[in-house]
Amino acid sequence: MEAAPAALSPFTLNDASGRAYTFPSESPTLLCFVKEDCPTCNTVVPLLEQINEASGDALTVLAAGQTTEGNAVLQQRHAMAVPLLDDSSLKVSFTYVIDIVPTIILADSSGRELRRLEGFAKSEWQSLVNDLAPLDPGETVEIDWPVYPDWRPGCGSLSADPINATRLQAEVENSPLRARRIAIAEQDDVHEFMFDQGFSDGLPLIPPTPERVMQMLAGTHRDPQEPVATVPPNMGTATVEKIAINAVMAGCKPEYLVVVIAALEAACTDEFNIHGVMATTMGASPVMVINGPIRLRIGMNMKMSALGQGNRANASIGRALRLAIRNIGGAEPGGTERSTLGNPMKFTMCFAEWEERNPWQPMHVGRGFEPEDSVVSLFAMTSGPTLIVDQTSRKADQLAGSIALGLESAHHPRAHMGTNVVLVVCPEHIDTLMRDNYSKQDLRKRIQEVTTVPMRSLASDDISGVGLNPDRMQDLPADVLDRPMPKFRSEEDIHIVVAGSEAGKFSAAFHGWAVGPMGSIPVSQKIEEV
């Protein structure tokens, strides 16, 4: 016994005016899936129109278009009377397994599929029209068949495009994963494959399998498909899922994900200007400082070797941010990244402040957050950490002045008021400063005081071409030439954080990029903990 025809899933789609059409209807239905840029679809639309006109109420003729913009073009091009429904979500196309457009499906009034045609074969269409003739005996479908080709192939359905098919399959399976899956040949080495695809920063990656990505997503309560940021230069949309994929590749644990998400949100603000940071020939890169309870919860290093290797959280969080900027935003060396020398901080630079060893306000509190908040702060730095070695100063003013001399080299000793710094003060230096009850403001003030020189001393000369143009200075009055010029435009451009081991009188500094609206402004973002 022959099996009964399969029933197609019911659907409701709207036309351009918003009118809803439901399948199945009370009569047999001829349903055609089309898209505007397919020549064969444009061939069959006039046939649909003729069938629709001749069939009257005996047959419901519907077309389902795969793009909203394309539907408008088809409607205008053919002056269509056949309802053209919007399947731009591609859900119906995917459910009906439409691989080729045009695909024509004839279904009975119960929604059971009776016949299916793909592309255009004249003989098949002639047979279809003959089969439809008895539906309304009072009408005949008169078609000038000689004007049509004998055969014409269809085009690929958008629902079968790998970029869309993975997402649609995930929706059908109710999976939170929507990113395109990449098939790897059985004999391929997955690590070499990821290198070849350009996903890597030059170091090996952890393969982002669906299982690993699902585990990573457990680190946040946010919807995997929630857009987090638009990432320059390619303006890619960073969803929570895509950030999780890069976090997996970087080697993060799930509990690190919320930090990476907050960091990318901060990086993609207009103030931070990540496109400029990554594209400048100076080789700038984000430096991430983490504050708040999350430091302890995820095991970040703020003590010995805080700025170096050896801690998974520090290393992988910073790396995940850079991989996301690369893989979602498209910032790659040789493309939009044009760094003259490069910078090891472009691999990673993330550390936590040792708040418990800090006698002052932690960095995030000074930037307007509550002590119990977990916060990531981003700074655009071009070099560092540059060691400031002082093992002999015993007074606070002496040590602060010594630190100031170390900061004089930021960009260049004769380059003043053009950049900022992140100063990392080690615990032993903190102890020296606190013997005289030094505050952060005292330290900043002392740095500005020691690095201030008269304008005339910053002129370029035979020793260095860096500096102010002497030709423009020669007619300036003496009081202007004697004007004091501090190293930094403002004391607020000296960002101070405490980290490092209990032993060793070695503080460090990260030298900044261009500061302000024409460059990058530091940004802090609260971390939404699970």
- Would you say residue 140 has pLDDT above 70? no
Q: What is the mean pLDDT of residues 452-472?
A: 94
In order of 110, 119, 274, 374, 492, the CA distances from 489 in angstroms are 77, 69, 22, 29, 8
Write down the mean pLDDT value for the chain: 93
State the average pLDDT over residues 9-37.
95
Question: What number is the average pLDDT over the span 387-400?
Answer: 97
Whether 172 shows a pLDDT value over 90: the answer reads no
- The residues, ordered by sequence, that sit 6+ positions from 112 with a Cβ below 8 Å of its Cβ are 4, 5, 6, 7, 8
What is d(CA 446, CA 443) in angstroms, rounded to the nearest whole number?
A: 5
| CA atoms of 267 and 523, how far apart (whole Å) | 8
Q: What are the residue ranges spanned by the domains of the chain?
A: 11-163, 191-455+478-526
Percent of the chain scoring above 90 in pLDDT: 86
Residues 6 or more apart whose Cβ sits within 8 Å of residue 224: 176, 177, 178, 217, 239, 240, 241, 244
> Is residue 119 within 8 Å of 154, Cβ to Cβ?
yes
CB contact at 8 A, 493 and 515: yes
Asked whether the predicted pLDDT for residue 417 surpasses 60, the reply is: yes
No. of helices (H) and no. of strands (E), the chain:
18, 22
Q: Phi and psi for 14 in degrees, rounded to 5?
A: -105, 150
More confident site: 7 or 448? 448
* Structure-token match 């970040």, residue found: 300
- Most confident listed range (87-96, 126-135, 161-170): 87-96
Better-predicted residue by pLDDT, 295 or 183:
295
Between CA 203 and CA 458 the distance in angstroms is: 43
Over residues 319-331, the pLDDT tens digits come to 999 999 999 999 9
In degrees and rounded to multiples of 5, residue 80 shows phi and psi of: -70, 130
Is residue 106 helix, strand or coil? strand
Q: What confidence score (pLDDT) does residue 179 get? A: 79
> Residue 373: which pLDDT band, with cuts at 50, 70 and 90?
very high
Confidence band, pLDDT 50/70/90 cuts, at residue 201: very high
Give me the mean pLDDT over the 421-432 stretch: 98
Is-contact 266 530, C-beta < 8 A? no
- pLDDT, residue 137, reads 53
Q: Where is average pLDDT lowest: 125-129, 373-377, 450-454?
A: 125-129
pLDDT in the model for residue 174: 67
Question: Which DSSP helix (H) or strand (E) runs through 231?
Answer: strand 227-231
Q: Which two tokens stand for residue 479?
A: 């009081």
Geometric angle at alpha carbon 54, from 52 and 55, rounded to 5°: 65
- pLDDT at residue number 6: 74
CA distances from 512 to 112, 400, 412, 519 (A): 68, 20, 12, 10
Q: Is the pLDDT of residue 264 over 90?
A: yes
* pLDDT at 171 (0 to 100): 75
Segment 393-405 shows an average pLDDT of 97
Confidence (pLDDT) at 1: 46
Regarding the domain with residue range 11-163, which homologous superfamily does it belong to in the CATH classification?
Glutaredoxin (3.40.30.10)
Mean per-residue pLDDT for 218-227? 94
pLDDT class for 3, splitting at 50, 70, 90?
A: low
pLDDT grade, residue 7 (50/70/90)? confident
Residues 350 and 510 sit within 8 Å (Cβ to Cβ):
no
pTM: 0.73
Could you give the CA distance from residue 400 to residue 90 in angstroms, rounded to a whole number?
A: 65
Q: What type of residue is 398? A: Q
| Phi and psi torsions of 249, nearest 5° | -60, -35
pLDDT tens digits, residue range 487-514? 999 999 999 999 999 999 999 999 999 9
**Cα radius of gyration (the chain):** 33
Confidence (pLDDT) at 400: 98
pLDDT at 173 over 80: no
Contacts of 251 (CB under 8 A, 6+ apart): 206, 312, 315, 316, 319
Q: CA torsion angle for 72, 76, 79, 83 (degrees, to 10)? A: 0
Q: Given this model, what pLDDT does residue 4 score?
A: 62
Can you give the pLDDT at residue 136? Answer: 54
**pLDDT above 70 covers what percent of the chain?**
97
Are the CB atoms for 343 and 349 separated by under 8 Å? no
Q: Grade residue 134 by pLDDT with cuts at 50, 70 and 90.
A: low
In this structure, are residues 92 and 34 in contact, taking their beta carbons and an 8 Å threshold?
no
How far apart are the two ends of the chain, measured CA to CA in Å?
58
3-state secondary structure 389-403: ECCCCCCHHHHHHHH
Q: How confident is the model at residue 139 (pLDDT cuts 50, 70, 90)?
A: low
